[in-house]
Structure 1
Amino acid sequence: MVQSSNFNQSLAVLVDADNAHPSIVGGLLAEVAKLGVASVKRIYGDWTTPNLGQWKQVLLEHSIQPIQQFRYTTGKNATDSAMIIDAMDLLYTGHFVGFCLVSSDSDFTRLAARIRESGCRVYGFGEEKTPRPFVSACDRFIYTEVFTKKPEGDPEGALTPRSSKELRCDTGLLNLIRGGIQAASDEAGWAQLGPVGNYISRTANDFDPRNYGYVKLSELIAAIGLFEVERRETRIYVKDIRKKTNGVLASS
């Protein structure tokens, strides 16, 4: 498979029009740009149906190629099959380092697993209702609500952060961060933020600070109020405040 740097790696972006909304496209493509170059951008659906009409302007603006797939019979999704076949054809070319699968449909679970078996990375994009098997089958999964959540009256589209109290009640989140700090910390309990973030990503592939209303991991950790965050020159370090240098637990 092709090996390249993140910013230059060639990606195939495949969108299931029946399970995605036009409002996410701007945020979606901005996110894809952080991962690599979208060499292929295709969207699949039956474009003869009126419910997909709202996609037209979005596709023109972002140069996304619509792939027509007629419905052969009621109740059967031929769109999924067309997208899967195209994905395998693209995979066999060997030109792509990764695939971005945009859908909330669990039917793409096996496709994601098969692509990963071939050495390519799979980035999934879907709504929070996406079935867990599809989420787990991807290297990384990003919930598309982060592209559309906008507080009322905020034209900039800033995220609405959860309060410190809410974050402290999220045991899963706290355990995830503490696990990352423990895995990367020195004898004094300090850990660089980068390795902590890598641990979290490997442990929970759908983790994203934006799910909690924060753009950066450092902002999320600081907002919780149970961790020290310290900048040293160009690097950020974090520490569990329950830990003292002598190893004795302090109350949180």
Structure 2
Amino acid sequence: MSKPSDTVFHEEDQRIIESISTYRNDQRDKDEILTIVEKHGWALRYAPPLFKYSEEICVAAVKSYPLVLEFISPEMRENEKVVKQAVTLCGMALLFATAKMRNRKDVVMKAVQNCGLALEFAHPDQKKQPAVVFTAMQQDARALQCADDELKRDRKFLLKALVNRPQALDFVHPSLRFDPELVKIALGQEYHPPKSPPSPKERAQSPLPAPKPKPKSRRSRRALSMERLERQKKREAEIVSKA
């Protein structure tokens, strides 16, 4: 699935654009247009306006290049068959569907099954749906950041969702980010929050700690060797004096 940029085209792409743009805005050219968009869906952008209202043409085009949904007629961007075909192949195409389609659970589910981050383009009402958000998270843990704040605070939902997507812990509501149970599920270990420092009153009431004994000074090896040498000299001197 490739599409030329807006300014630079390969020679073959340029020929396709010139070819499709020369057809009449007439149903008699429908078969020729259909043949082109079945292989080069992006080219529908340059076709005569009439064909951007054709369900058959639009379905064929989005099968080849789902993001061409941006350039078809508003009626087709609200057409169930066209939109579902597009988002099934490329979830991000949900961005170009109408608000009505972005608020349909069945359409959004198909989009997030393909790309979890497509949840960003769903209607706000769909971002509150546990089933939709859960499906999106299974595809991409980062999808939780696109969910409604209420779901980010829903411990029951998060306990289930984090089992397979522990990375989503980074995107839960800040008030739950250090929740011991959620952390245990996500990281597989107990979480013990740090103890808060004692207040000035508590410090004043607590007994003073016993002074620590001073550590014995550690003499160097050289000093110990010198002491042993001195003791040996004394013993030798005593032996000589007795003799």
The verdict on a shared fold, with TM-score over 0.5 as the criterion, is no
Q: TM-score normalized by structure 1? A: 0.33
Q: TM-score normalized by structure 2? A: 0.34
Q: Mark the structure with the bigger radius of gyration.
A: 2
Compare relative contact order (CA 8 Å, sep 6+) and give the higher one, 1 or 2.
1
Higher strand share: 1
